[in-house]
């Protein structure tokens, strides 16, 4: 097996979400978004926080990303809060929600409001069970999808009033790519 070095990954084609992106930046937009997502059986999941640069500093989750194969919803929680209907979606055991290192994401989300998450599957854990040598999102994408994820927007300010197009694509891709990785993993199981 070839080691996936940063140099090798940089040579891979860029993976990027190309579907519809909906930014949910107002409470009135939450119900239609949750209704649309609730019709699905499987979703990609991720969160973003404004980066911290000082020891002891903490920022709350600013963005929750939930994606179908065709449509990504970016919930600006720093504007809307964690609405009850959104918590119900995150508690719904019948909808599989996929991500990597989701434990920390859920801990951070629960600092906004108490809820009981259910229906989550950590692809890093699944990778270990399948004896895949990589467990992070970037390397799983390279290994299973033969593509690279851009990390250019990773340390940008996710609390911005308006998300840039680059931030939107980055955030949507990070949720959507979990669906694609899961599909490849299911072929191996």
pLDDT digit string (tens) for the chain, length 189 residues: 668 888 888 899 999 999 999 999 999 999 999 999 999 999 999 999 988 888 888 899 999 999 999 999 999 999 999 999 999 999 999 999 999 999 999 999 999 999 999 999 999 999 999 999 999 999 999 999 999 998 888 778 999 999 999 999 999 999 999 999 999 999 998
Tokens of 113: 């409001």
Q: Is the pTM of this model over 0.85?
A: yes
Can you state the percent helix, strand and coil of the chain, rounding each to 5? 40, 20, 40
**Whole-number Å distance between alpha carbons of 29 and 17:** 22
**Contact criterion met (CB below 8 Å) for 48 and 62:** yes
Q: What is the CA radius of gyration of the chain?
A: 16
């Amino acid at each position: 097996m070839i080691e996936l070095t940063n140099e090798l990954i940089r040579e891979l084609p860029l993976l990027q979400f190309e579907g519809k992106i909906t930014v949910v930046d107002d409470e009135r937009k939450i119900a239609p978004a949750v209704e649309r997502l609730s019709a699905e059986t499987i979703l990609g999941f991720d969160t973003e926080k404004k980066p911290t640069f000082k020891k002891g500093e903490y920022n709350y989750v600013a963005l929750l990303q939930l994606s179908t194969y065709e449509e990504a919803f970016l919930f600006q929680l720093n504007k809307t809060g964690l609405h009850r209907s959104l918590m119900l979606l995150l508690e719904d055991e019948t909808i599989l929600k996929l991500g990597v290192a989701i434990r920390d994401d859920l801990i951070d989300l629960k600092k906004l409001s108490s809820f009981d998450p259910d229906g989550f599957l950590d692809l890093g854990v699944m990778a270990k069970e399948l004896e895949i040598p990589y467990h992070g999102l970037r390397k799983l994408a390279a290994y299973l999808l033969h593509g690279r994820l851009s990390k250019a927007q990773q340390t940008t300010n996710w609390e911005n009033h308006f998300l840039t197009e680059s931030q939107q694509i980055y955030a949507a891709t990070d949720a959507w790519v979990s669906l694609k990785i899961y599909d490849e993993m299911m072929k191996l199981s």
